[in-house]
Amino acid sequence: MDLNYSAEDEAFRAEVRAFLDAELPPELQRKVRSHLRLSKDDFVRWHRIVAKQGWAAPAWPVEYGGPGWNATQRHIWEEECARAGTPPILPFGVNMVAPVIMAFGDEAQKAHYLPRILNCDDWWCQGYSEPGAGSDLASLKTTAERQGDHYIVNGQKTWTTLGQYADMIFCLVRTDTSVRKQEGISFLLIDMKTPGITVRPIIMLDEEHEVNEVFFDNVKVPVTNLIGKENKGWTYAKYLLGHERTGIAAVGRSKRELDFLKKLALREQKNGQPLLHDPMFASKVAHLEIELMALEVTVLRTIAQEHQGPGPQASVLKVKGTEIQQLLTELMVEALGPNALPFDPAFLEGAAGHAAGGDDEGAPLAAYYFNYRKTSIYGGSNEIQKNIITAMILGL
Amino acid sequence: MDFSYKEEQQAFADALRRWVERDYTFEKRRAIVHSEAGVSPEAWATLVELGMTALPVPEAQGGFDGTAVDMLVVMQELGRGLVVEPYFATVLGAKFLALAGGQEALLEKVAAGELKLACALAEQQSRHDLSAIGAVATGGLENAAVSGVKTVVLHGGQADAFIVSAKVEGTIALFLVDADTAGVAVRDYRTIDGMRAATVSFDHAPATPLGTAAQGWDILEAATDYGATLLCAEAIGAMDALFAATLDYLKTRQQFGAPIGKFQALQHRMADMFIHLEQARSITMLAAVKEASGDAEERRRVVSAAKARVGQAAQFVGQQAVQLHGGMGVTDELPAAHLFKRLTTIGLTLGDTDHHVQRFIAQPGFQAVS
């Protein structure tokens, strides 16, 4: 047992840090660290900076433009990005649709889509959930009917994250209604500019436009946009779910936020003392920090078993990781107390001047808390993750 | 990074497990627990033969120089098997001797299995604060004599000698006192988990100083951090066994025409127990690695984190395992209840969760921000 990083790993970390020090634009870093909302341009700008370095798709094979990193190096990269406060590289293209295209797409699809994903030439979004198909995803109803060289798509997708910016959407659609629900699903790539597609915003409880409904009304999609075989889409979707999931714990990000929380609790006062010195508050922070220390080792243990392939262990990381992320935001709001109330959406979107209430540091935190309730719901709710643990690990 | 156990480490664990499965069965253990002695000389002889007493002792004294990491697998197996022999008390005592230095002859006897030790640290008023003691040592270094009453001394009734903490001019110092020396009175009893402990009274008992008085507290903290790490490992083993027994029960017990493991309320409880167990296992590994790092602040921080987290996991897994066993869980018949009792007492030994969270907060690292 040896829990130290190797000299090669540390050298790699230094290389990553040097890159981030030199290339992360300070205004993006400030937005991320201050919990402000990122624009489309912010995401694209950072993606292209990283792509230029050749690091935009850490898990991709070298032949498709990946850097050839092992799991430990990918972990270090994620950890250093989180520590620095970079915008995220959005997962929909790089981590979600690309591995499916690589594994099941044809040569023309690989040649066309993969370089464009790598360079963020296309903004991808995900068309999985529907109003009647959430945790029970396989009951989806959006249909794709074959007519000559095209599919005619009708139906509705929902919770489409940042779909308002998207050029492309990857969808699970029903191509056969006569068989068991998992067996009639296909994986289809659809150009968002196709006539018949309507995107309608869903405004979330923090008044942010982060997700959308996407409606399909007789949308004509070339059959060349089908991935793999017709009616095999469920298999591809499951493949995607098991792919590259240790990052889901977001340990690096939570470490940065723990540091932020402590600074906030040193700034806030209780009984004439910094709040962090209050035994009741300190106890909550300590329990959180201890859980995070344990989770970091749990992540590293999962990485060390990488050769066994992605497994249901990711469900443990998702549950624990999101619990910690949510508790961090909860304690930030608790630290502010009544001063968490002022709400200034324009400030959150990056408007000049000071936040309503005058506390620029604290102004985004209540919205952040409410926004982060999503984490235990998306990506397979934490209850679904427990079903996976139950079935796949415990065999019940 | 490597989370696997070396071949030799695994060999120790395998040998122990085979012995427990063959010769230290639940029924045999029950007989030992209810015997007058409360421990088994045959079991002790086997532990010695398997090299367990030599494992943590330095090589120069005939040991294998085992680290806390080497001890992880051993303690996990003893936890899994609910072994009630005076092993942990002796290993903890040996750690005091090794840290204090100058006790090579005694360490050789520990390695050979010829000397059992017990650590007489806590007193009635101490709770988890081992500095809150009233025992005193008089007579200087030459004619040291210890007076005071130590409570819940683990395996105090089976020990040949005691490590004793006592104050010298207000400072905590450590002493070695022979069990059969004048002025020592031992009242041996059974503990709720089937182990033995004792109230040990010292009345001007002749004592050998361990280290200098100035080192007393540092040695005591380092040794008990080592002990806490070992207890975490024992708890992991006990939780593994309890979790496996509960999973088995959920797959076999039928109600409403189905195995009760088909019910989601119970399934999610098991998933929660699994997550607790994995988190506890992770932080125990971290504690074992950091325990020997030589950085005292880092050691305090991580060992306290581990003991606190394992304490929470042990309580949750223990209570829920009993709940999922239904009525059978609260009987004396199944190992489940006994594992639960041991997990509970581990939580109360060498600092409970609150104590260690408080200690974690008190370390300078807790207030440090970027």
Do A250 and A225 fall within a single domain?
no
Instruction: Specify if A109 maps to a domain.
Output: no
Please answer whether residues B154 and B88 qualify as being in contact, where contact means their C-beta atoms are separated by less than 8 angstroms: yes
| Average pLDDT rounded to a whole number, residues A143-147 | 98
Convert the pLDDT of each residue in A67-112 to its tens digit: 999 989 999 999 999 999 999 999 999 999 999 999 999 999 999 9
Same domain, A47 and A166: no
Chosen from A259, A386, A392 to mutate, greatest number of chain B CBs within 10 A: A386
Considering the domain architecture, whether residues A324 and A386 belong to the same structural domain is answered as yes
* pLDDT score for A236: 95
- Assess whether pLDDT exceeds 70 at residue A309: no
Euclidean distance between CA atoms B116 and B109, whole angstroms: 9
- How much is the pLDDT for B294? 81
- Which residues, given as ranges, of chain B have pLDDT below 50? none
Shortest CA distance from B247: residue in chain A: A394
The CATH number given to whatever domain includes residue A129 is: 2.40.110.10
A343 and A285 within one domain:
yes
**Measured distance CA(A91)–CA(A56) in Å, rounded:** 11
Q: Are residues A250 and A208 in the same domain?
A: no
pLDDT bucket at A241, cuts 50 / 70 / 90: confident
Is residue A100 one of the residues assigned to a domain?
A: no
pLDDT digits (tens, 9 = 90+) for A1-40: 888 899 999 999 999 999 999 999 999 999 999 999 999 9
ipTM of the complex: 0.97
Write down the pLDDT at residue A242: 66
Residues A204 and A256 reside in one and the same domain = no
Residue A358 has pLDDT above 70, yes or no: yes
Q: What is the DSSP letter of A185?
A: E
Indicate if the pLDDT at residue A283 is higher than 80.
Answer: yes
Residues A380, A275 within the same domain = yes
Query: Measured between alpha carbons, how far is A356 from A369 in angstroms, rounded to an integer?
Result: 18
| Per-residue CA distances from A331 to A101, A259, A286, A337, B15 (Å) | 41, 12, 12, 10, 48
Q: Is residue A312 part of a domain?
A: yes
Nearest CA in chain A to B70: A1
Partner residue facing A290 (CB), from B268, B309, B367: B309
Query: Residue A239 class from Cβ within 10 Å (0-12 exposed, 13-18 middle, 19+ buried)?
Result: middle
| CA–CA distance, A211 with A202 (Å, rounded to integer) | 6
Contact A259 B370 (CB under 8 A): yes
For residue B1, what pLDDT is reported?
A: 80
Pairing of strands A168-174, A209-222: unpaired
> Model-level pTM greater than 0.90?
yes
Residues B148 and B207: beta-carbon distance below 8 Å: no
Q: What is the pLDDT of residues A45-71, one digit of tens each?
A: 999 999 999 999 999 999 999 999 998
* Candidate from B5, B274, B288 with C-beta closest to A393: B274
Query: Of the candidates B270, B286, B309, which has its C-beta nearest A3's C-beta?
Result: B286
Q: According to the model, what pLDDT value does residue A248 have?
A: 85
pLDDT digits (tens, 9 = 90+) for A147-202: 999 999 999 999 999 999 999 999 999 999 999 999 999 999 999 999 999 999 99
| The predicted structure's pLDDT at residue A73 | 95
Q: Which of A232, A259, A279 is the last residue in one of the domains?
A: A232
Q: Two tokens at A233?
A: 């889409």
- Rounded-to-integer distance, Cα A220 and Cα A188, Å: 12
Domain boundary among A232, A264, A299: A232
pLDDT at residue A244 in the model:
55
**Residues A201 and A268 grouped into a single domain:** no
For residue A101, is it within any domain? no
Question: Do A250 and A224 fall within a single domain?
Answer: no
A331 lies in the same domain as A366: yes
Give the pair of three-digit tokens for residue B138: 């008089």
Cα separation, B109 vs B61, in Å, equals: 9
Asked if the structure places residue A222 within a domain, the reply is yes
Do A113 and A189 form a contact (C-beta atoms < 8 A)? yes
For residue A306, the enclosing domain spans: 246-393
- Domain contains A239: no
The answer to whether residue A94 is domain-embedded is no
Dist. CA A149–CA B90, nearest whole Å = 79
Same domain? For A293 and A171 the reply is no
Q: Domains in chain B and their CATH numbers?
A: 7-111 (1.10.540.10), 117-213 (2.40.110.10), 217-367 (1.20.140.10)
The answer to whether position A186 is within a domain reads yes
Q: Which residue of B3, B4, B5, B354 is the best one to mutate when testing the A interface, meaning the one whose CB has the most A CBs within 10 A?
A: B3
Instruction: Indicate which CATH number applies to the domain containing A382.
Output: 1.20.140.10
In this predicted structure, what is the pLDDT of residue B252?
Answer: 97
Q: Looking at residue A55, which CATH number applies to its domain?
A: 1.10.540.10
Domains of chain A: total: 3
pLDDT > 90 fraction of chain A, expressed in percent and rounded: 92
Rounded CA gap, B159 and B181, in Å? 12
Domain end among A45, A72, A89:
A89
Residues A228 and A261 in one domain: no
**Model confidence at A243: pLDDT above 90:** no
